[in-house]
Structure 1
Amino acid sequence: MTDENANGGNAATTPPQPTQAPQVRLNILAQYIRDLSFENAVAQKGVAGGEVQPEIAVQVGLDARKRSTENQYEVITKFKVTSTNTATKTTLFLCELDYAGVFQIEGVPQEQLHPFLMIECPRMLFPYVRRIMSDVTRDGGFPAFNMDPVDFVALYRQEIARRAQAERPQDQPLS
């Protein structure tokens, strides 16, 4: 008589079950404005006649830090939005926002943690940044500025390429 399992097969030949990859867990524990500045240059200096043709430039910076509590990280998104009059090259407004989130992250392999912190976490914070920028510009006397979505993957790749370029000796020819 042979030993059979519930599926009708021989228990001795049942293949071992593959181990599952650890489940990624991400929780936002807090999010907050670290720093906010808005300067309405038009109201301060006035606009010399003529038509205003605004041009808006957005600069984005990212930073991440390990916190003292296990598996907790603070991710800081830094946005600088400058509106200038293209006709006169004068500044209309300047808005700077540092917006941060505290994240509890588990199950992400160490080699994937840095891109996770610099791509996924800012992506989750972005809708709040966009709303704040819109409200501040509107409350500052301008039409609400609805920032276009930011491609955090492209930003991350650009930063990695920039760092690799900076680390390469200057006298070494390109391959």
Structure 2
Amino acid sequence: MAENGANGATGGQQAPQVKMNIMGQFVRDLSFENVMAQKGGSGEMQPDVNVQVNLDAKKRSTENQYEVSIKLNVDSKSKESRDQLFLLEIDYAGVFHIEGVPEEQLHPFLLIECPRMLFPFLRRIVSDVTRDGGYPPLNLDNIDFVQIYRAELARRQQAQQAEQTAKA
């Protein structure tokens, strides 16, 4: 049985305590184009929904504050006729106060953890807008922000390699 003291110590250094507060959330931009209603169409249709996600983060002028946004582009077409049903674009942002995150971990923290905190609120808005537009509420599946982050890193690395190859 280990005794308290040197066996469990980590050299007297503790990992910094991470603090994150959501200072506010807001819809920066929202567009819902109800194409089917404009054409006068109605009736039961099987929608085919395509969702594109983009993330952005930037430092604010106030110390330890960052703005993180999730931009969704939701394109819905009829499975049978491929006619456009609706197009929804939303830019949803949150202002975060973050302390204790090491500099090398800040970028993934901002683009993974912060969007995870915003997503339930964004999901609710998308559900309400599509329901109010006359469609069944669109309940978005969970988004894997880790996978999006890794894909963006890989895309940037490929672009950098292609640029270096072009210069050679």
The TM-score normalised by the length of structure 1 is 0.84
Counterpart check, 1:36 vs 2:30: yes
- Structure 2, unmatched stretches of 5+, are 1-8
The 2-side partners of 1:138 and 1:158 are apart by 32
1:12-48 residue CA offsets vs partner (Å, 9 max, x unmatched): xxx9961211100000000011111111111101339
Larger deviation: 161-170 or 40-49?
40-49
Contact 2:127-2:137 at 8 Å conserved across structures: yes
Match of 2:67 among 55, 60, 74: 74
Tell me how many residue pairs correspond in the alignment.
Answer: 157
Change (3 A) 1:54 1:24: same
1:71-124 residue CA offsets vs partner (Å, 9 max, x unmatched): 100001101111101222211011111100000000000010000000000000
CA RMSD of the aligned region, Å? Answer: 1.9
Deviation, structure 1 residue 52: 2.7
Match of 1:63 among 49, 56, 62: 56
Contact 2:36-2:42 at 8 Å conserved across structures: no
Match of residue 118 from structure 2? 125
Higher helix share: 2
Q: Which stretches of structure 1, 4 residues or longer, exceed 3 Å deviation after superposition?
A: none
Larger radius of gyration: 1
* Partner SS for 2:162: coil
Match of residue 6 from structure 1? none
The TM-score normalised by the length of structure 2 is 0.88
- Structure 1, unmatched stretches of 5+, are 1-14
The 2-side partners of 1:90 and 1:71 are apart by 47
